[in-house]
Structure 1
């Protein structure tokens, strides 16, 4: 049995399962969903990008931030953003040692930064360059037009170096196949074709799309909303802190995200068609996951922040397509987290690994077991969220939190009304669950202390030139 994991960054679960307020076209994922077991209650464990992938790869909790590891050069400098600890064995390492061909195709550039080690155990890997602030090109600045994507007053490299870096990286793009999502999924398709004789195999495909910059071929966005006098704010966080967005600007920015989702769905469909051409559906498991979502003006802004542990940010896509029809079209409401994927895939291959924090989900899928959790805890920088079927509590953990935020998710599904003052006993109970996990009372001091030192980035150079 082969296994392919498709991981999409920043892909909201409610957009893909069509419970979001706007419909977004994802026909290829819709068909995959119909023949999958879908976990409706999947939540991130240690957020965002890098801690999540550590959990995916090792089955071990990333949170609390308990490792002292060299993280120089690994922007952003936040809690938990570091390499896989050497004492943890990765999924790919286990499989390779048991005769499984392993491959990694990714454009998630954070995985390949200095001091990172996410290629461990992969007998081949392809790093697709150019996403966001990936340090691919440093000029010429005269070749990029930032005014198409920013208000004129801040459309320069020193004010918004992140967008400048991305536009420099995209200079050679000419047609749709030059975009990053097609490059990822075409490379993955080639890997499958090349390794068709090397079965069983394990392939991890990691698409940064639809993470910012929300920059699809624009006809994908135009199908959702188009206004001639509105700019394409492909990185809206860089704009919303400067100005208040108009209604048309909000709708166009949402359309950029929706179009990017439809675009990546198209190329997932391309990959799935290769499996059809090779006749591999009968012996291939496909896992479809995401690392987190993003806010689409749910609570008045775009983007994701550590202090917003709401479903739009921390609920995951988590589907498993198994060739056995008994697993098709099932939905499971038990709590699962990203750390459960690793032991589940080991079980699919019949490989035994050391004990991990995650759970093998195959018995849950078959109905032999129920879920193992009555709550989930998510760490994101210095904020932690404790979620039960009824409540969400968000706490600042490094400094004393004078304003805990408690939401009654049953009566307030959008989690807009803080009721902590009315339910101190619930705050105390849920805080106790968090303190049990971290092994002490709040506030706490984490072992991992981010290295706040120079990193060789375009942003650093632009800022140093600004003050020179």
Structure 2
């Protein structure tokens, strides 16, 4: 059997056409859904990124979080944000023992922070560098004139500014569409399929960090939903219980940037599916597409992933 799990971080269920959305373009995921079983009542076992992935990799509950030990070298301090315990066997380890050829391709940099160990049990793993706060580059520093193009000054804080500055350094390597991190993830996945198609039993975990913030797809995708915007680009919004820090047009841009990111990611999923079909592997494959959680974009007066705002925009997943 050929098994493919596609994890798309922060993908909202209500932003997908197959779940009833009629204004955001997700034709490729919609076509995949037509060939699939659709789950209408799926919810994450725990939040955010790393706690959920502990459940994904092991099939075990991580909540309630106990004996939390913050790790050195990681700015994120959240209960459950820890490596997989040594005694917990992962899906990849189980399949590897069963002689599956296993692969792991991702741009989710949290996997590779100091002390993390999520790439156990994979015959090959590829980390596409540069997303969000990934320490890919330390310089040169970001000019103030460049930094002022992004986010709302009123809604910024130390953590948001730190992440944004790192991302702006990282994105200097992006010169064309093919350089975007999410494009690289799915192109590497297509290569992996081609290189390993001689094996009868394969497992590939594709973990895409997008549409997670920074919401920064190519401009043409944002223009699909909010063209001719000339204000600050709100790409790493504050995690806030109100939206007072955003002007009306800034909030609209934030929502359009997320929608554009979703359409951009959908395009990459489509390219991967085309790769499976061209290799004549699509009809003999088990393909699972999931998300870890959503992201509030002004609904209920909130932006971000607020732990006490467990509304459908955050908790309903495809």
In 1, Cα distance between equivalents of 2:211 and 2:171: 16
Q: How far has the Cα of 1:73 moved from its partner?
A: 2.2
In the alignment, structure 2 segments of 5+ residues that lack a partner are: none
In 1, Cα distance between equivalents of 2:310 and 2:234: 25
Per-residue deviation, residues 379-424 of structure 1 (Å, max 9, x unmatched): xxxxxxxxxxxxxxxxxxxxxxxxxxxxxxxxxxxxxxxxxxxxxx
Q: Cα RMSD between the aligned structures?
A: 2.3
Give yes or no for contact 1:233–1:239 (8 Å, CA) kept in 2: no
Q: After superposing the two structures, state which structure 1 stretch, 287-296 or 307-316, moved more.
A: 307-316
- Cα gap change, 1:74/1:199 in structure 2, threshold over 3 Å: closer, same or farther? farther
Q: How far has the Cα of 1:246 moved from its partner?
A: 2.2
Give yes or no for contact 2:156–2:238 (8 Å, CA) kept in 1: no
Q: How far has the Cα of 1:16 moved from its partner?
A: 1.4
- Cα gap change, 1:294/1:62 in structure 2, threshold over 3 Å: closer, same or farther? same
Give yes or no for contact 1:69–1:85 (8 Å, CA) kept in 2: no
TM-score normalised by length of structure 1: 0.64
Q: After superposing the two structures, state which structure 1 stretch, 71-80 or 214-223, moved more.
A: 71-80
| Corresponding residue of 1:353 | none
Matched, 1:215 2:216: yes
Give yes or no for contact 2:226–2:253 (8 Å, CA) kept in 1: yes
Matched, 1:183 2:184: yes
Matched, 1:197 2:186: no
* Poorly superposed stretches of 4+, deviation over 6 Å: 152-159, 238-242
Give yes or no for contact 2:10–2:211 (8 Å, CA) kept in 1: yes
Matched, 1:127 2:112: no
Q: How far has the Cα of 1:152 moved from its partner?
A: 6.5
In 1, Cα distance between equivalents of 2:212 and 2:138: 22
Q: State the secondary structure of the residue aligned to 2:203.
A: strand
Matches within 5 A, 1:3-402: 3-17=3-17, 23-67=23-67, 71-142=71-142, 145-151=146-152, 160-237=161-238, 244-317=245-318
| Corresponding residue of 1:339 | none
Higher relative contact order (CA 8 A, sep 6+): 2
Give yes or no for contact 2:243–2:298 (8 Å, CA) kept in 1: no
TM-score normalised by length of structure 2: 0.93
Per-residue deviation, residues 19-56 of structure 1 (Å, max 9, x unmatched): 57762100000000001001111111111100101101
Structure with the higher strand share, 1 or 2? 1
- Cα gap change, 1:158/1:102 in structure 2, threshold over 3 Å: closer, same or farther? closer
- Rg larger in structure: 1
Q: State the secondary structure of the residue aligned to 1:42.
A: coil
Give yes or no for contact 1:58–1:91 (8 Å, CA) kept in 2: yes
